[in-house]
C-alpha cells in the first residue's frame, strides 16, 4: 500500500482541479451560447419580418383633380345608368391621363422627357376601376371636376419605401427615372402623400401586376369564418369527448383505443389532414373547394386533440371532493359533472380552446390542399351561405404572395404575417389573462 | 317542403313538447314536485327527445338514400345510345341533376312555369338558352331522353320531399304522443335524458376514431388506385422523380425521401445541441430571473406558425446563405437549399427539444444531484454523469418526436428547400421533400385519374407510416426505459 501524502496544500489549486474548473466553465458557456443563439434566432426572425412588413402598412397616394368628361363617360348625354355602365375601365384611363397632363404642363412640375403616357402609368391600374365605381355610384357628378386619391403604382410606392432607386429604375422597364423625378415634384407640391394603408386590411387580393391594390380583407374574413366553424364544432365535441373519457368511460379496450387515437392524431403531420380533407370532404362528400366550411372542418379535426388534452387536464384538476359532495347531497353523476365539475374546469377549458384556435389560425399546409390557394377577388357573403363561398385564409395569402414575381408582394407577405402575429398575440394574451384571473389552486 | 323546413318543423314540435311535457308532469303531481321521480324539466326533455331524435334520424337517412334511389330509377330512362363517345352514365346523371336544379332556378326566376315544364320538349323550347338565361350553364347539347329524365328527376324529387315531410312529422307527432302518455309521476325521466346525453358524449369521443379511420381509409384507397396504374416496385425503388403530365413519368420516392431525411438531419444537428443545452442551463444553472425571461421567449418560438418560418427562410436566410456561403464557395446558386430549410427548421425545433428535455431533467430527483455534489462532483460533472444518463430515455424520446415533426413539416420546406428532386450530398443545393411534392401534386387543377396526382396519396401514406412509426417508437422508449424514482 502506498501512503497518500498530500504533496501540496489543499488551498492551492492543483492541475486536476483547475482542469475540472475549466471544464465546468466551458460547460456553462455552452449553455449561455445555446441560449444566446436561440434568442438571436428569435430576434432575427422578428426583425426580418417586421422590417420587411411594416412598410406594407404605409401606402403612397396621388391626389388628382379629374374632370369627369361627359364626352367620354356619357356620350349622348342621356345620363342613362345602363349606358354609363357600358364604359369600361379603359374608358376612364384617358381622363386620368389628361389630369396628369395638366399637372405636367405646370412649369414647376414639368419634367423633361416624360411623356404623359408614362406619367399615367404612375397611377395604379386600380385607379380607373375606382373612378368607375365612383361614377356609377354618383352618375350626377359627370361633368364636374372631382378630386380623387389614387393609389400610386407599385414601383412609385417602392421608391418611397427604398425598394426602387434612380439606379434601379434605369434598368427597370416598368419605371423610368423621369417618372420618379415627377413623383418627387408631385410630392413637393403636396399632391403625392404617403399615409396609413387601410386598404391593406380591407381590400381583396389583386392580380399579379397591381401589388399596390392587394389587401387582406378576404383572407381575414375567411380566417374568421374558419375560426368560427372550429370554435362551434371543436369546443362542444372536444369537451363532450373529454367529459366521457375523464368521468364516465369504463376502463376497457374501447377507451384505450380512443386514447391512443387522440394522442396519435396530435402528432400526425398537418399535411395529412389536408389529404383527408381533400379525399373525404371534397371528393367524397362533394363540398366546394376553397370554401371556409372545408377548411373549418379540417382545422376542427386538427384542433380536437389539443382541446381534448387541455380539457381533460383541467377536469382532472378538479378535486374528487367536489364530485363526492355533489353525489352526497343526491345529485346524479351527470348532474355532478355538469353542475359542479364543468363550471370549475371552464377557465382551463377556455384557455386550452383559445390556444388550439391560435394554432389553427396559423396552420397553412392543409389549406393548400383543399384549394384555398385559389385567387379570390370577391368577398364571401354573410354566414351561413358564406361558409360555402370561396375565400382565402391569412397564412395561405402569405404563401400566395410569396409565389408572385413582383418584390412588392414580398413586402405585402411580411405585412400579412404581422397581421397574423397580432391576432395570435391577442389570442394568447386573452388566454394568459384568463388563466391568471380564474386559475384556482385546490 | 324543403328539408330545412321539415327539420325546423320537427324541432318546433319538440320544443312545444318540452313545455307540454313539463306542465303535464307538474299537473300529474298536483303541482307538488316532491311527488315526481325527476325534476319537471327532465320530463320536458324526455318529450323533446322522443319527438325530435327519431324524426331527425329518419330525415337524415332519407336525405342520404333519396338521391340514390331516384337516380337508380331514372338511369333506366337513359338509353345506351344517349351516352356519347368518351362520356359515361355518371356524367350524364350529373347533367340530369344540373338540368333539374336549373329548372328549379328557372321556375323561381320566372323564366318557366310549372305547366310549361311538364310539357317541355326540345322542339318548342330552347332549354339550354332558358337555363343559360338564369345562370345555369349546361355544357353539351341536351338530348331528348336526358331532358325527359331531368324532368322526371325533378318531379320524383319533389314527390319524395313531400313524402319525407309527411313521414318525419308523423314520426315526431307519434314520439310526442308516446312520451306524453309515459309522463307520470313515477316515470324515470331523468334517466332517459341522461342516457341521451351520455350517448352524445360517447358519440363525440368516436370522432377521434373516425378521423383516424378517415385518414387511413382515404390514404389506402387512393394509394391502391395509384399502384394499379404505377407499379409499387418502381415507386419504392426508382431513383428518379420526374412527373410528366403527358404520361410516362418516373415517380420514385427515393430522391424525395433522401431530401426529407437530409433536411431533417440538418435541422436536428442544429436543434438538438442548442435545445438540450438550453434545457440544461435553464434547469441547472439559470437564476429564477433568467429562467422567467428565457423560458417564455423560447416558448414564443414554439407558438409561431410555420408559415412565418417559411417566409424567414425565403426572404432572409436563403439569400444570406447564398450570398455569403454558396456563391463564394462555388457550391450552389440557389437561395433555397437543404441548409436554408434545415437551419430554419432547426430554429423551429429548438423549443420542442428544450421543453421536452426540460421536463425530463426536472423529473430527475434532487436527491441524486445532492448525492453527486456530496461526493465532490462539479455541476457539469453531475449533469454529464448523473442527470443525463438518468434522463436519457426521455431525451431520446424527445429527439425522435422532434425528428417526426421535422419529417412532417411542410411550409418551411415548401418555401425554403426548393422543388428539384435530387440525390446529392451538397447541403447548399436545392432539394425537395415528400411534403413539398404532396403539395405540388395536389394543388392547382387536379384530375383524380392520373398517377401524377394519385402519387401524392402514396407519398402521404409513406409519410403517415414514417411519422406514426417514430411516434410509437418514442413512446415505447420512454415507457420501457423510464427509471422510476418513487
Computed over every residue of chain B, the mean pLDDT equals: 86
Task: Tell me which residue in B208, B315, B347 faces A265 most closely, judged by beta carbons.
Answer: B208
C-alpha cell at A239: 369537451
User: Which of B72-76, B161-165, B181-185 is least confident?
Assistant: B72-76
Instruction: Report the share of chain B in percent with pLDDT over 90.
Output: 39
Model ipTM over 0.95: no
Q: Which residues of B touch A253 (CB under 8 A)?
A: none
Q: Which residues of A touch B468 (CB under 8 A)?
A: 264, 267-268
Please give the interface size between A and B, counted as residue pairs whose CB atoms are below 8 Å apart.
244
How many helices and strands, by DSSP H and E, does chain A display?
A: 20, 3
How far from chain centre, in Å, is Cα B471? Answer: 19
CB B276 within 8 A of CB B360: no
* Residue found by looking up cell 319524395 in the block: B160
- pLDDT tier, B260 (very low <50, low <70, confident <90, very high otherwise): very high
Q: Which residues of A touch B462 (CB under 8 A)?
A: none
Instruction: Report the b/e string of A301-332 with b at 16+ CB within 10 A.
Output: bbbbbbbbbbbbebbeebeeeebeebeeeebe
- pLDDT tier, B484 (very low <50, low <70, confident <90, very high otherwise): low
Q: Is A360 on the interface with B (CB under 8 A)?
A: no
Calculate mean pLDDT across residues B60-89: 77
Per-residue pLDDT tens digits for B347-399: 999 999 999 899 889 888 999 999 999 999 999 999 999 999 999 989 999 99
Q: Which residues of A touch B201 (CB under 8 A)?
A: 240-241, 243-244, 248
User: How far off is chain B from A389, nearest CA to CA, in Å?
Assistant: 17
* Residue found by looking up cell 381622363 in the block: A95
Q: Which residue has the higher pLDDT, B248 or B207?
A: B207
CATH for B241-481 (3.40.640.10, 1.10.1040.20, 3.30.420.280, 1.10.3720.10): 1.10.3720.10
Q: Which residues of B touch A301 (CB under 8 A)?
A: 207, 211
The pLDDT, as a whole number, for residue A162 is 81
C-alpha cell at A356: 388550439
In the predicted model, is pLDDT for residue B88 greater than 80?
no
Q: Is A209 on the interface with B (CB under 8 A)?
A: no
CATH for A217-438 (2.40.50.140, 1.10.760.10, 1.20.840.10, 1.10.3720.10): 1.10.3720.10
The pLDDT, as a whole number, for residue B441 is 87
Contact flag A265-B407 (C-beta cutoff 8 Å): no
The pLDDT, as a whole number, for residue B420 is 84
Task: Tell me which residue in A240, A268, A421 faces B215 most closely, judged by beta carbons.
Answer: A268
Contact flag B415-A402 (C-beta cutoff 8 Å): yes
- pLDDT tier, B122 (very low <50, low <70, confident <90, very high otherwise): low
Contact flag A398-B311 (C-beta cutoff 8 Å): yes
- pLDDT tier, B333 (very low <50, low <70, confident <90, very high otherwise): confident
The pLDDT, as a whole number, for residue A165 is 83
Distances (CA, A) of B105 to A154, A384, B2, B99, B148: 44, 20, 14, 10, 17
- pLDDT tier, B197 (very low <50, low <70, confident <90, very high otherwise): very high
Q: What is the pTM of this model?
A: 0.87
Nearest-by-CA chain B residue for A258:
B209
Domains of chain A by residue range: 58-196, 217-438
Where on the phi/psi map is residue B31: left (φ > 0), alpha (ψ -120 to 50), or beta? left
Secondary structure class of A150 (helix, strand, coil): strand
Q: Which residues of B touch A30 (CB under 8 A)?
A: 277
The pLDDT, as a whole number, for residue B445 is 63
In the predicted model, is pLDDT for residue B104 greater than 80?
no
Task: Tell me which residue in A48, A248, A270 faces B315 most closely, judged by beta carbons.
Answer: A48
Q: Which residues of B touch A363 (CB under 8 A)?
A: 305
Calculate mean pLDDT across residues B339-344: 93
The pLDDT, as a whole number, for residue B326 is 83
Rounded to whole angstroms, the Cα distance separating B321 from B196 reads 61
pLDDT, mean of each 10-residue run, chain A (442 residues): 64 86 94 94 92 88 84 74 77 83 81 79 83 82 83 85 82 82 84 86 84 88 93 94 92 87 89 92 84 93 93 92 94 93 91 91 91 82 83 91 86 92 92 83 70
The pLDDT, as a whole number, for residue B180 is 87
User: Which of A354-363, B104-113, B321-330 is least confident?
Assistant: B104-113
Contact flag A371-B443 (C-beta cutoff 8 Å): yes
Contact flag A272-B215 (C-beta cutoff 8 Å): yes
In the predicted model, is pLDDT for residue B138 greater than 70?
no
The pLDDT, as a whole number, for residue A303 is 93
Q: Which residues pair with A65 in a beta bridge?
A: A147
Domains of chain B by residue range: 3-187, 241-481
Task: Tell me which residue in B190, B274, B300 faces A37 most closely, judged by beta carbons.
Answer: B274
In the predicted model, is pLDDT for residue B428 greater than 90?
no
Q: Strands B250-251, A58-67: parallel, antiparallel or unpaired by DSSP? A: unpaired
Contact flag A276-B304 (C-beta cutoff 8 Å): no
- pLDDT tier, B124 (very low <50, low <70, confident <90, very high otherwise): low
Q: Which residue has the higher pLDDT, A239 or B444?
A: A239
| Radius of gyration (C-alpha) of chain B in whole angstroms | 33
Q: Can you spell out the DSSP letters for A164-199?
A: S-HHHHHH-TT--HHHHHHHHHHHHTT-EEEEE-TH
User: How far off is chain B from A33, nearest CA to CA, in Å?
Assistant: 8
The pLDDT, as a whole number, for residue B470 is 93
Please give the DSSP secondary-structure letter assigned to residue B443. Answer: S
Q: Report the run of H or E that residue B467 belongs to, with start and end.
A: helix B451-481
Task: Tell me which residue in A35, A265, A268 faces B281 most closely, judged by beta carbons.
Answer: A35
The pLDDT, as a whole number, for residue B332 is 78
Amino acid at each position: 500500500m502506498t501512503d497518500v501524502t498530500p504533496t501540496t496544500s489543499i488551498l492551492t489549486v492543483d492541475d486536476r482541479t483547475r482542469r475540472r474548473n475549466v471544464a465546468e466553465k466551458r460547460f456553462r458557456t455552452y449553455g449561455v451560447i445555446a441560449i444566446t443563439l436561440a434568442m438571436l434566432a428569435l430576434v432575427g426572425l422578428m426583425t426580418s419580418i417586421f422590417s420587411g412588413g411594416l412598410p406594407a402598412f404605409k401606402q403612397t397616394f396621388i391626389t388628382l383633380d379629374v374632370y369627369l368628361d361627359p364626352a367620354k363617360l356619357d356620350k349622348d348625354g342621356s345620363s342613362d345608368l345602363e349606358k354609363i355602365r357600358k364604359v369600361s375601365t379603359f374608358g376612364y384611363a384617358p381622363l386620368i391621363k389628361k389630369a396628369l397632363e395638366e399637372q405636367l404642363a405646370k412649369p414647376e412640375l414639368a419634367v423633361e422627357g416624360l411623356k404623359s403616357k408614362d406619367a399615367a402609368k404612375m397611377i395604379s391600374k386600380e385607379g380607373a376601376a375606382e373612378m368607375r365605381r365612383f361614377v356609377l355610384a354618383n352618375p350626377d357628378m359627370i361633368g364636374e371636376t372631382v378630386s380623387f386619391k389614387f393609389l400610386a403604382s407599385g414601383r412609385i410606392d417602392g421608391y418611397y419605401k427604398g425598394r426602387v432607386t434612380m439606379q434601379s429604375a434605369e434598368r427597370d422597364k416598368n419605371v423610368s427615372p423621369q417618372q420618379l423625378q415627377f413623383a418627387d415634384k408631385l410630392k413637393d407640391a403636396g399632391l403625392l402623400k404617403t399615409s396609413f394603408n387601410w386598404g391593406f386590411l380591407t381590400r381583396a387580393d389583386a392580380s399579379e401586376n397591381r401589388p399596390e391594390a392587394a389587401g387582406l380583407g378576404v383572407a381575414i374574413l375567411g380566417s374568421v369564418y374558419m375560426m368560427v366553424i372550429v370554435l362551434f364544432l371543436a369546443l362542444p365535441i372536444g369537451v363532450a369527448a373529454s367529459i366521457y373519457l375523464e368521468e364516465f368511460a369504463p376502463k376497457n379496450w374501447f377507451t384505450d383505443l380512443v386514447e391512443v387515437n387522440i394522442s396519435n392524431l396530435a402528432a400526425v403531420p398537418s399535411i395529412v389532414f389536408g389529404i383527408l380533407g381533400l379525399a373525404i370532404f371534397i371528393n367524397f362528400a362533394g363540398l366546394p373547394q376553397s370554401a371556409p366550411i372545408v377548411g373549418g372542418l379540417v382545422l376542427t379535426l386538427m384542433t380536437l386533440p389539443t382541446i381534448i388534452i387541455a380539457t381533460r387536464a383541467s377536469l382532472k384538476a378538479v378535486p374528487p371532493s367536489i364530485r363526492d359532495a355533489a353525489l352526497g347531497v343526491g345529485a346524479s353523476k351527470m348532474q355532478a359533472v355538469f353542475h359542479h365539475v364543468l363550471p370549475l374546469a371552464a377557465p382551463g377549458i377556455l384557455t386550452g380552446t383559445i390556444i388550439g384556435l391560435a394554432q389553427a389560425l396559423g396552420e397553412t399546409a392543409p389549406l393548400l390542399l383543399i384549394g384555398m390557394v385559389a385567387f379570390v377577388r370577391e368577398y364571401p357573403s354573410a354566414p351561413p351561405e358564406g361558409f360555402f363561398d370561396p375565400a382565402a385564409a391569412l397564412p395561405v395569402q402569405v404563401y400566395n404572395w410569396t409565389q408572385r414575381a413582383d418584390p412588392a408582394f414580398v413586402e405585402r407577405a411580411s405585412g400579412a404575417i404581422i397581421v397574423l402575429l397580432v391576432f395570435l398575440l391577442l389570442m394568447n394574451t386573452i388566454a394568459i389573462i384568463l388563466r391568471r384571473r380564474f386559475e384556482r389552486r385546490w | 317542403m324543403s328539408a330545412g323546413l321539415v327539420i325546423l318543423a320537427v324541432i318546433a314540435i319538440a320544443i312545444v313538447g318540452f313545455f307540454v311535457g313539463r306542465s303535464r308532469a307538474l299537473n300529474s303531481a298536483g303541482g307538488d314536485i316532491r311527488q315526481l321521480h325527476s325534476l319537471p324539466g327532465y320530463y320536458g326533455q324526455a318529450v323533446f327527445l322522443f319527438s325530435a331524435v327519431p324524426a331527425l334520424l329518419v330525415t337524415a337517412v332519407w336525405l342520404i338514400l333519396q338521391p340514390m334511389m331516384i337516380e337508380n330509377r331514372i338511369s333506366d330512362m337513359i338509353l345506351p345510345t344517349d351516352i356519347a363517345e368518351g362520356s359515361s352514365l355518371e356524367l350524364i346523371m350529373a347533367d340530369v341533376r344540373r338540368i333539374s336544379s336549373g329548372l328549379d332556378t328557372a321556375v323561381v326566376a320566372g323564366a318557366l312555369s310549372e305547366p310549361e315544364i311538364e310539357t317541355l320538349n326540345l322542339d318548342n323550347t330552347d332549354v339550354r338558352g332558358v337555363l343559360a338565361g338564369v345562370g345555369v350553364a349546361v355544357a353539351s347539347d341536351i338530348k331528348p331522353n336526358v331532358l325527359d329524365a331531368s324532368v322526371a328527376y325533378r318531379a320524383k324529387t319533389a314527390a319524395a320531399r313531400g313524402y319525407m315531410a309527411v313521414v318525419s312529422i308523423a314520426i315526431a307527432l307519434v314520439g310526442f304522443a308516446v312520451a306524453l302518455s309515459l309522463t307520470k309521476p313515477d316515470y324515470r325521466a331523468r334517466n332517459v335524458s341522461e342516457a341521451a346525453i351520455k350517448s352524445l358524449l360517447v358519440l363525440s369521443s368516436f370522432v377521434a376514431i373516425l378521423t383516424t379511420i378517415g385518414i387511413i381509409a382515404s390514404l389506402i384507397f387512393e394509394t391502391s388506385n395509384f399502384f394499379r396504374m404505377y407499379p409499387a416496385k418502381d415507386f419504392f425503388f426508382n431513383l428518379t422523380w420526374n412527373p410528366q403530365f403527358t404520361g410516362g413519368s418516373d415517380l420514385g420516392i427515393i430522391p424525395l425521401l433522401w431530401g426529407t431525411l437530409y433536411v431533417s438531419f440538418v435541422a436536428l444537428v442544429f436543434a438538438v445541441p442548442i435545445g438540450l443545452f438550453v434545457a440544461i442551463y435553464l434547469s441547472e444553472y439559470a437564476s429564477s430571473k433568467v429562467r422567467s425571461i428565457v423560458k417564455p421567449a423560447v416558448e414564443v418560438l414554439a407558438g409561431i406558425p410555420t408559415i412565418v418560418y417559411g417566409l424567414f427562410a425565403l426572404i432572409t436566410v436563403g439569400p444570406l446563405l447564398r450570398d455569403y456561403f454558396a456563391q463564394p464557395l462555388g457550391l450552389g446558386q440557389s437561395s433555397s437549399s437543404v441548409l436554408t430549410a434545415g437551419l430554419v427548421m432547426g430554429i423551429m425545433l429548438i423549443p420542442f427539444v428544450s421543453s421536452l428535455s426540460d421536463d425530463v431533467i426536472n423529473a430527475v430527483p434532487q436527491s441524486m444531484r445532492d448525492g453527486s455534489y456530496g461526493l465532490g462532483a462539479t455541476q457539469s460533472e453531475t449533469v454529464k454523469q448523473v442527470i443525463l444518463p438518468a434522463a436519457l430515455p426521455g431525451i431520446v424520446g424527445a429527439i425522435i418526436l422532434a425528428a417526426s415533426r421535422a419529417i412532417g413539416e411542410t411550409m418551411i420546406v415548401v418555401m425554403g428547400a426548393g422543388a428539384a428532386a435530387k440525390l446529392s450530398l451538397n447541403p447548399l443545393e436545392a432539394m425537395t421533400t415528400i411534403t413539398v411534392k404532396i403539395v405540388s401534386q395536389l394543388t392547382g387543377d387536379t384530375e383524380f385519374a392520373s398517377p401524377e396526382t394519385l402519387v401524392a396519396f402514396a407519398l402521404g401514406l409513406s409519410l403517415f407510416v414514417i411519422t406514426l412509426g417514430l411516434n410509437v417508437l418514442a413512446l415505447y422508449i420512454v415507457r420501457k426505459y423510464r427509471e422510476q424514482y418513487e
